[in-house]
A and B are shown apart, each in its own frame.
Chain A
Amino acid sequence: MSDTAAIFAARDPHVNFAYLDERTKRMIRRTLLKAVCIPGHQVPFGSREMPLPYGWGTGGIQVTAAILGPTDTLKVIDQGSDDTVNAVNIRHFFQRTAGVAVTTDTRAADIIQTRHRIPETPLREGQILVYQVPAPEPLQRLEPRRSETRTLHGLAEYGLMHVKLYEDIARYGHIATTYDYPVRVNERYVMSPSPIPKFDNPKMHRSAALQLFGAGREKRIYAVPPYTAVASLAFEDYPFSIQRWASACALCGATDSFLDEWVTDDRGTRMFVCSDSHYCATRQARATAPEPSHGSK
């Protein structure tokens, strides 16, 4: 960690601050302002080629590059973890191009770029959560034509989505969508929350943080301002519910976090551990912290 910190301590003087050229940043910024003014509405933008392929967070990176300032502290997570390839690379990218401070501590971060999770630690006012979004159109699998989905959003005609959820119930006895579970924002737009587990959907509702969504390949940006109603779609007799686990996290004992299933050998032994690496590490550190000395045997 200290080696990489030394490598990226200084910003690369050969690229503009935060990589993107100023005119691109202005275009993204104007898009973001309109996105915040129309919560949940997908605003098209001129997505640029980035030095990594589509699907690796090009939308999120462009949003982060447009909002990031030299005094911000950045955290990047990939499915909850600070230590996976995608998260490490994006963090290094902004250390190198913007010289910003980085952290794994959810509370210490000003901007958190995320792929497919919302941190377990509640977000606070002033923080910005930037989502990487692969498929911004919640109606895409029901109606592939953009011209049609735009009309459906314009008229708030979301019957199709309810039919899809109903068909789940008819076929499986429950709504079978477990991630990218559609939400309705401020009682108006149906929105894709990005492929976060439905476990995280309730955290979006009236969150104190500003939530920004960037889809690079699909060239769409959308937003949810702080304290905005975000309701997961459901029926009165089939209410929305989140995943539950029979076991606690094998490493920190948490019973309130989203757990990943790890296969630990070739005989099917498995364990469940927190997907949020910082949350888990903080709990483990607290559990093993030395007790005050006077009580020791």
Chain B
Amino acid sequence: MNAATGGTPLDLNAVGPGFSDPPLASQAVFRAALNAFARPGRIQRVASDAPHPSGAAPAAAALLLALLDPDCTLWLAPRLAHGSAAAWLRFHTGCRIVSELREAQFLWSDADQMPPFEHLPAGSEFEPETAATCLVQVEALGDTPGWRLQGPGIERTQPLTVRGLDATFLAQWRANHAAFPRGIDLLLCAGECVAGLPRTTCIEG
């Protein structure tokens, strides 16, 4: 178990509030996620009035707050696991925080602490939907020419620049893309922005 999820009682005064209007806020945040995956690489703004815990990108915190509940398992990278994010998410969503990567439906990590893709649940040929959804916090997202994205959801090509991913990312992504229908799906988060990379997206660097 991660440090923040152990048996120690939770100090409720230290847990920040969630959405002020959960039904409408969750809906708006979900639509940003749906648009992000339906239009890969196109940057979506995630509007949320929930204060984000320390170390969390506001977009990533809002997305998890909107999507998680006790039916979900979440794996947290060490830096987030040791901050206030885990207690905040557990209190508001009731999600189960797991330490084994293969049990995770959702992953939340800074780009530099992202585990190798081959260790993540990628689903099976018969149940590819059981693959993990990963929220990766990067330094910055932009739509200036950098990567050229192609695939479902993109009319011709979609430009995307991402700052903060390490050099092995593109090679890992190519292997992930080639394994279709298996493969993980990424939501890259920076500040209040999110860009989706479903497993169907082909990236040219």
Contacts and interface: CB of A to CB of B under 8 A. Distances in A.
Interface string A193-209: 00000000000001010
Contact of A43 (B26, B30, B125, B129): B129
A58 to B, nearest CB: 20
Contacts of A33: 33-34, 37, 67, 133, 185
Given A34-B129, A154-B125, A27 B30 contact: no
Interface in A151-171: 151, 153-155
A25 B69 CA distance: 11
A37 B200 contact: yes
A70 to B, nearest CB: 6
Interface stretch (B2-10, B74-82, B108-116, B147-155): B147-155
A41 interface: yes
Given A33-B37, A69-B27, A188-B180, A227 B155 contact: yes
A25 B26 CA distance: 9
A16 interface: yes
Contacts of B90: none
Interface string A35-68: 1111101011000000000000000000000111
B166 interface: no
Nearest to B30: A29
Contact of B152 (A43, A67, A70, A186): A186
Chain A CB within 10 Å, residue with most, of B27, B37, B154: B27
A226 interface: yes
B200 A186 contact: yes
A67 B23 contact: no
A37 B69 contact: no
A39 to B, nearest CB: 5
B174 interface: no
B128 interface: yes
A22 B22 contact: yes
Interface in B124-145: 124-129, 131, 133
A23 B23 CA distance: 10
A18 B26 CA distance: 13
A270 interface: no
B8 to A, nearest CB: 27
A150 interface: yes
A66 B33 CA distance: 13
A24 B7 CA distance: 29
Contact of A17 (B23, B124, B129): B23
Interface string B152-174: 11110000000000000000000
A55 B181 CA distance: 30
A66 B34 CA distance: 11
B59 to A, nearest CB: 15
B31 A67 contact: yes
A17 B128 CA distance: 31
Given A36-B37, A67-B30, A154 B129 contact: no
Contacts of B124: 154
A17 B154 CA distance: 32
Contacts of A26: 26, 66-69
B128 A41 contact: yes
Contacts of B50: none
Contact of A69 (B31, B127, B131): B31
B37 A37 contact: yes
Contacts of A22: 22-23, 26
Contact of A226 (B22, B27, B30, B38): B38
B175 interface: no
26 contacts: A23-B69, A26-B66, A26-B68, A29-B30, A29-B66, A29-B67, A33-B34, A33-B133, A33-B185, A35-B129, A36-B37, A37-B185, A37-B198, A38-B128, A41-B129, A44-B129, A66-B30, A67-B31, A69-B31, A154-B124, A186-B152, A208-B155, A210-B34, A225-B198, A226-B153, A226-B155
Given A26-B68, A29-B34, A37-B199, 8 more contacts: A17-B23, A26-B26, A27-B69, A29-B33, A33-B133, A154-B126, A227-B155, A229-B152
Interface of B: 22-24, 26-28, 30-31, 33-34, 37-39, 66-69, 71-72, 124-129, 131, 133, 152-155, 180-181, 185, 198-200
